[in-house]
Chains A and B, each alone.
Chain A
């Protein structure tokens, strides 16, 4: 995989590369070059399989990391392209014309993270959440505990425990 990264480096602005395993590499890419890079990897380097497309919320840094994971089945190599986008104005470029399945991933990212993908088919239609009006729930600042406390009523007579404290007590009863 090092050879491939070295081969691409003169023509693309590739950032930090992580060689996680012999068959798994991650590399930072820029938004301008993403499309050209994906097309070259698919058509010339054999990375024909889109494994997944997802986002990671780095709220402290004000960024979303979009991970485009692609796979070369013949060479048994997986490459994760990391693209960092601004968290406040979250927008990505659609790749549904390269892999039709990407439309589903983009629809989910739109709903769960609030990342816009203009031009992606049915991207604004509800995917999993019906009638959701709160902030996109997979963002780190969406508090699931506060949401459930506001939305649902505690059933009377039901005892709840703090999971961390209970586990500590069970494992180390002596303290």
Chain B
């Protein structure tokens, strides 16, 4: 097979601070902005690349295109007024924000949630994970030139959005999980319609397996590319499918079960190679697992009971001074909310810990040097990062 060894003599010298001394005037190097508008970018962020030929010498992530100051805005709102804005922190998978915030408030205020509400919350989180993985599968295929899979996945995701609309009244931002429970129980005949969606999804995923994972171009461009040394996982805060692709069988759903995950039976998918291929296949298998979990939840959950507990008067709701951290396993890794209260009717501080914060900044900047320009998009998408949760 043709193998190209880059000519390192063309590289810049390393300065006393350990960084490359890049002189753009020499004409050897070129600055290339990958984003913020680029098909291979997973949202409103950009990577500033310095290239030598088509090899990337260094890259820096730039965010700030989507900053809305949510954490600050929450400090001006009462606890119940915060709940409609938390979901907007992360666009493609908003439900984790709702769950983590609600669970943090419930813990500090000492509120018990009805059993059935916990099952519906788990169902919502898995439906959100389904949607998020659908976008991820379409993204990784699209970044490597296989755009049709993106169209299939968008179609299947749209079917799940119909179920979301039926259950919560909204397609993208559901505002369904609020402190004390959820807003409603399952509609009549929901299980049958969900089963139809899941069967359609499985048919499309069978096609994806044939078209993507047996594709020679996809194999060549992903196997061995974008390798993350598992030794770096802890120091770079790598969690979720990115770590599971490198042999680390860690999943918050399994290791620190929340909601009703301890009543569901599942095995966490793990791969060993830690490259783009492994990360793609882990996501694909996790998506299959999600479909199975949705079926299990619908079969096992109690129905017809209370889904919302009675709350104190939310206009005069004060929560004693305290702090807590609630985490869950989102489709990208550990997602958490750090909530600090001070005895008033407003949160003192809300901090969102999104997995993309570490994956898209320190980790991506570490992985980029030495790759080709054409592989940067695939590398980025394979880390499955969502910029809104970096800058909030």
Contacts and interface: CB of A to CB of B under 8 A. Distances in A.
A137 B325 contact: no
B319 to A, nearest CB: 14
Interface in B72-121: 72-73, 75-78, 81, 107
Interface in A4-57: 18, 20-21, 23-24, 26, 48-52, 54-57
B235 A99 contact: yes
B372 interface: no
B236 A137 contact: no
Contact of A100 (B235, B325, B338): B235
Nearest to A77: B256
User: Closest 4 A-B residue pairs measured CB to CB?
Assistant: A48-B234, A128-B64, A54-B351, A52-B353
A129 B67 CA distance: 8
Nearest to B353: A52
B3 to A, nearest CB: 31
Interface in A84-124: 99-101, 103-104
A49 B324 contact: no
A103 B349 contact: no
Contacts of A23: 256
B361 interface: yes
Which of B75, B256, B362 has the most chain A CB atoms closer than 10 A to its own CB? Answer: B362
A145 B76 contact: yes
A85 to B, nearest CB: 15
Contacts of A174: none
A175 interface: no
B255 to A, nearest CB: 6
Given A100-B235, A103-B362, A51 B76 contact: no
B292 interface: no
Interface residues of A, number: 42
Interface of B: 63-64, 67, 69, 71-73, 75-78, 81, 107, 234-237, 239, 250, 255-256, 315, 322-325, 327, 334, 336, 338, 340, 348-349, 351, 353, 357-358, 361-363, 366, 391
Interface string A151-174: 000000000000110011001000
B357 A104 contact: yes
Contact of B362 (A101, A130, A140, A145): A101
A138 B256 CA distance: 32
Given A57-B349, A80-B323, A142-B72, 6 more contacts: A101-B358, A103-B362, A104-B362, A128-B63, A137-B72, A171-B315
Interface of A: 18, 20-21, 23-24, 26, 48-52, 54-57, 67, 69, 73, 76, 78, 80, 99-101, 103-104, 126-130, 137-138, 140, 142, 144-145, 163-164, 167-168, 171
11 contacts: A20-B107, A20-B322, A26-B323, A50-B237, A52-B351, A101-B236, A104-B362, A129-B67, A142-B72, A145-B76, A167-B315
Nearest to A96: B362
B391 A20 contact: no
Given A52-B351, A100-B362, A104-B362, A144 B325 contact: no
A52 B78 contact: no
A137 B67 CA distance: 12
Contacts of B71: 138
A168 B250 CA distance: 45
A144 B69 contact: yes
Nearest to B250: A73
Contacts of A144: 69, 72-73, 76
B255 A76 contact: yes
Nearest to B392: A128
A54 B338 contact: yes
A23 B107 CA distance: 13
A138 B361 contact: no
Given A128-B391, A144-B69, A52 B338 contact: yes
Which of A18, A55, A104 has the most chain B CB atoms closer than 10 A to its own CB? Answer: A104
Contacts of B67: 128-129
Nearest to A172: B315
Given A56-B349, A73-B250, A78-B325, A168 B315 contact: yes
Nearest to B366: A100
A102 B348 CA distance: 23
